[in-house]
Chains A and B, each alone.
Chain A
Amino acid sequence: MTKRIVKTLLAATVLSMGFAAAANAKTLVYCSEGSPEGFDPALYTAGTTFDASSKPIYSGLVQFEPGTTNVVPDLAESWEVSDDGLEYTFKLRPGVKFHSTDYFTPTRDLNADDVIFSFERQMDSENAYNAYVEGASWEYFNGMSMPDLIESIEKVDDMTVKFVLSRPEAPFVANLGMDFASIFSKEYADQLAEAGNESDLNQKPIGTGPFQFVAYQPDAVIRYKAHPDYYAGKQAIDDLVFAITTDASVRQQKLMAGECHVMPYPNPADVESLKSADGVEVMQQEGLNVGYLAYNTQQAPFDKPEVRKALNMAINKQAILDAVFQGAGQAAKNPIPPTMWSYDDTIEDDPYDPEAAKKMLEEAGVSDLSMKVWAMPVQRPYNPNARRMAELIQEDFAKIGVDVEIVSYEWGEYLERSKATDRDGAVLLGWTGDNGDPDNFLAVLLGCDAVGGSNRAQWCNDEFNDLVMKAKSGEQEERAALYKQAQEVFKREAPWATIAHSVVFMPMRDNVEGYVMDPLGGHNFEGVDIAE
């Protein structure tokens, strides 16, 4: 009897010290950087929200092969594209199970109705879920021009879905790998609608992904457990926990104290100390982004390529990488990042040469130039400190006799004002890729259609634009060749000064196995294990 009590007491002590849970179930703790806005990824645009919703909970028709931007099957086993490039027919994977939780028990497997529902709710204003929460704006669906692109979605049979497009658009398949294209359960949505609880779709998610939702305590903890019937097999870890920790220094302390296994976004200045910390490893990869300075190519004298080129040669990128990125950056020579297919590594960057730059300006007949440089008021991965960057550029330009005035506006205002074609001066901005397709950079940021919008250089070059438009259809190989030519035109014409791609660091405990960094910037725990 006494023995028993001692045993019980011992067990209780061990439990209170937290070892018991580790022995029973494998729990991976991720110190995430912020709270998700909700759990319906199609409603939002923030990576933090995707990490907590689409990544663990949902699957799409296609996905990006881990560690790359290549599109591979997910819920669709295969697909066919019609010869005119207008019809995409997807064959669904049979036997895919939705999550079974205390708030929903599925009675059937995934079928075409689920796929159609997942898109129709975003495109059809008549759909009961089109406005199921106030201000549901389907930002990504609209932002990727899906309403213009998708003419119709048809159910061919229970396991086959056909998308009919209004024009050929090769990046379309990559779009379907994005977070907004997550596949929802129509059965669950119908059940919620019947009970009048539509908004639960955004609070109590049901998907087909590797982890199923357990609970969310706002601003504190999100809990998931492995989906036992995940089509690709149950995960090695039993529980996945997001411990929301907004401050980077605190995340670092938690990681070093063993309170979490993985943390995103360390302070660049702390990376070295993390690398040398006991039991911690740091993975790194170039981010799928680019930070740039966009001249207004419709404004004299920036309408002359030689003037833009001269200014580019005056910028000391290395100094910017050291001071602004503190080592977490890589000099950019092309408008697309090096992890993206079709990146042309043969292109030579403009040398840093103030003397030559000065001479080029003189030859172009430009003297006593004074200009504005716009500095963003916010931190972004592609530009952690725009003010500092602008100051460095100001110093660099002063050396070739160009006088710079730095201006800044509140973020929303900044984005809006910088779109104007009669805008004064060059704008610091950047872009993070959505779907890993070069089109997502080259057409969106530099195409003629985007002038007055996301083309902050207001640059419309027919040669470049024709190449990019032509590359909207065809096989990846042909497309890549066109994009390489486009990068050459870009380099020659220099509508931007390409400044840097960020380098992303992922510190984690050294017993974490199988984590693969996502070039698209997401954080995905499928296939991750913890060594005993």
Chain B
Amino acid sequence: MLRFFLYRVALLIPTFIGVSIVAFAFIRLLPGDPIMLLAGERGMSAERYQELQAVYGFDRPYLVQYFDYAWGILQGDFGQSIVTKRPVLEEFFTLFPATIELSLCAIILAVGIGIPAGVLAAVKRGSWLDQTIMGAALTGYSMPIFWWGLLLIIFFSGTLGWTPVSGRISLLYYFEPVTGFMLIDSLLSGQAGAFKSAVSHLILPTVVLATIPLAVIARQTRSAMLEVLGEDYVRTARSKGLAPRRVIGLHALRNALIPVVTTIGLQVGVLLAGAILTETIFSWPGIGKWMVDSVFKRDYAVVQGGLLLIASLIMIVNLLVDVLYGLINPRIRK
């Protein structure tokens, strides 16, 4: 198991280098020049442009710029935002907890509802229940997130007034962030009602962000369950006279979960992509929104640093999934 783990970790290194090259090249391949964008309609003289190019080091050959960048990363320096003039790493970690909080809630919701729904659909295959669940899953999967988010806001916040429109907590509460996770910070603050307010602000964005992963997980669980339910050992278990609940819960589900765990792991990427839109709709101060703004402003340091950090995160989650997978299924370790 240890060798398997070390092997997987070693594989991360070339992937990391590859990602850093792609991230570096991606933003430079986009047309547009961050320095011209700083000046806006006003424009600037050619001399001034040269001057600023030199300040940011954009006048050097790409290869030099890349190695300089890579050297910085090895020392933990991801550079400085061209726009805000603050270190990229500092900005990332200020905003990152908000994204994690939202993504965790969304994945818990997606798994908590998706797996039981998938199991139910598989067990009641062909019934109206199956049809309904799968119909809902297909709808959820194809839902345009932006439209879905606005619809929920207009209905639940606008018409019914049940949930707040956007933000992380009511503006009446003010405390210094400790962990960056609003649910925890609101409890730590000791202010009455803060936690409740934080929860109420989380509901809609969580539902919106969970929609697609939930649909995917439900569909994946159903098909995996169907496959397993037809296996010999399940028939054997049934013929032994085990209670149907035990057959499904213990024998079938455990095996069906293997592909589902992979799917859940892959949803991390989907979640972060979904976070970009969800965060924009709900004014959620996370890294999704931060990245989008930075691409528009051609903030090279932020885009390449952000991409690298997000990609690393996905790689680490995938590594953990692989390890988990190895734990569930001993055959993988070989």
Q: Which residue of B lies closest to A19 (CB)?
A: B172
B80-A250 in contact (CB<8A): no
**A contact residues around B283 at 8 Å (CB):** 219-220, 243-247, 250
Minimum distance in angstroms from A125 CB to a CB of chain B: 11
* Cβ-neighbour of B48 out of A21, A142, A250 (below 8 A): A142
Contact yes or no, B157 A253, CB < 8 A? yes
- A259 near B164 with CB under 8 A, answer yes
Q: How many angstroms from the CA of A410 to the CA of B29 in the assembled complex?
A: 12
B36 at the interface (CB under 8 A from A): yes
A256-B158 contact in complex given A139-B42, A416-B36, A429-B41, C-beta closer than 8 Å: yes
For residue B174, which residues in chain A have a CB less than 8 angstroms away from its CB?
215, 223
Chain A residue at minimum C-beta to C-beta distance from B161: A257
Q: Which of B31, B52, B293 contacts A413 (CB 8 A)?
A: B31
Q: Does B219 contact A (CB under 8 A)?
A: no
Q: Which of B41, B44, B52, B83 has the most CB of A within 10 A?
A: B41
A234 contact set on B, CB distance < 8 A: none
Q: Are B43 and A253 in contact (CB under 8 A)?
A: no
Chain B's closest residue to A253 (CB) is: B165
Cβ-defined contact, B167 with A220, below 8 A: yes
A143 in contact with B84 given A16-B196, A253-B158, A412-B32 (CB within 8 Å): no
Does A37 interact with chain B (Cβ within 8 Å)?
A: yes
Is there a chain B Cβ closer than 8 Å to A419's Cβ? yes
Q: How many A-B residue pairs have CB under 8 A?
A: 154
Report the bound CA distance from A432 to B40 in whole Å: 11
A431→B192 CA distance, assembly (Å): 50
A199 interface residue (CB < 8 Å to B)? yes
Contact of A12 among B38, B91, B192, B298 (CB under 8 A): B192
Binary per-residue interface labels of chain B (136-174) against chain A in the complex, 1 for a CB within 8 Å, 0 otherwise: 000000000000001001100110010011111011101
The answer on a CB contact under 8 Å between B31 and A199 is: no
Which residues does chain A contribute within 8 Å of B171, judged by CB atoms? 27, 29, 221, 241, 243, 259
Q: Are B43 and A454 in contact (CB under 8 A)?
A: yes
Q: Are B85 and A136 in contact (CB under 8 A)?
A: yes
Q: Does A168 touch B at the CB level, under 8 Å?
A: no
The interface residues of chain A lying within 8 Å CB-to-CB of B84 are: 37-38
Within B180-236, which residues are at the interface with A (CB < 8 Å)?
192-193, 196-197
A172–B31 alpha-carbon span in the complex (Å): 37
Residues of B within 8 A of A43 (CB): 85
Indicate if A137 sits at the interface (CB-CB under 8 A).
yes
A35 and B36 in contact (CB under 8 A), knowing A218-B94, A219-B95, A250-B150? no
Does chain A have a CB within 8 A of B318?
Answer: no
Indicate whether B62 reaches chain A with its CB closer than 8 angstroms. no
A135 in the interface (beta carbon within 8 A)? yes
Q: Which of B279-297 contact A (CB under 8 A)?
A: 280-283, 285-286, 289-290, 293
Closest to A219 in B: B285
| A369 contacts chain B at the CB level, 8 A cutoff | no
> Could you list some 21 contacts between A and B, CB below 8 A?
A17-B193, A21-B172, A27-B171, A29-B171, A45-B40, A45-B42, A135-B56, A137-B48, A202-B85, A218-B91, A219-B286, A220-B98, A220-B167, A220-B285, A246-B280, A249-B150, A253-B153, A253-B154, A256-B158, A259-B164, A412-B31
Contact surface of A with B, Cβ cutoff 8 Å = 12, 15-18, 21, 27, 29, 34-35, 37-38, 43, 45, 133-137, 139, 142-143, 199, 202-203, 215, 217-221, 223, 241, 243-247, 249-250, 253-254, 256-257, 259, 409-413, 415-416, 419, 429-432, 453-454
B residues near A (Cβ < 8 Å) are: 30-33, 36-45, 48, 52, 55-56, 80, 82-86, 91, 94-95, 98, 150, 153-154, 157-158, 161, 164-168, 170-172, 174, 176-177, 192-193, 196-197, 280-283, 285-286, 289-290, 293, 298
13 additional A-B pairs beyond A43-B85, A143-B39, A250-B150, beta carbons within 8 Å, are A16-B197, A21-B172, A134-B55, A137-B52, A218-B95, A219-B283, A221-B171, A243-B171, A247-B280, A250-B153, A253-B154, A253-B165, A415-B43
Which 10 residue pairs spanning A and B have beta carbons closest together? A16-B193, A219-B285, A412-B36, A410-B31, A220-B285, A133-B85, A412-B33, A245-B283, A12-B192, A254-B165
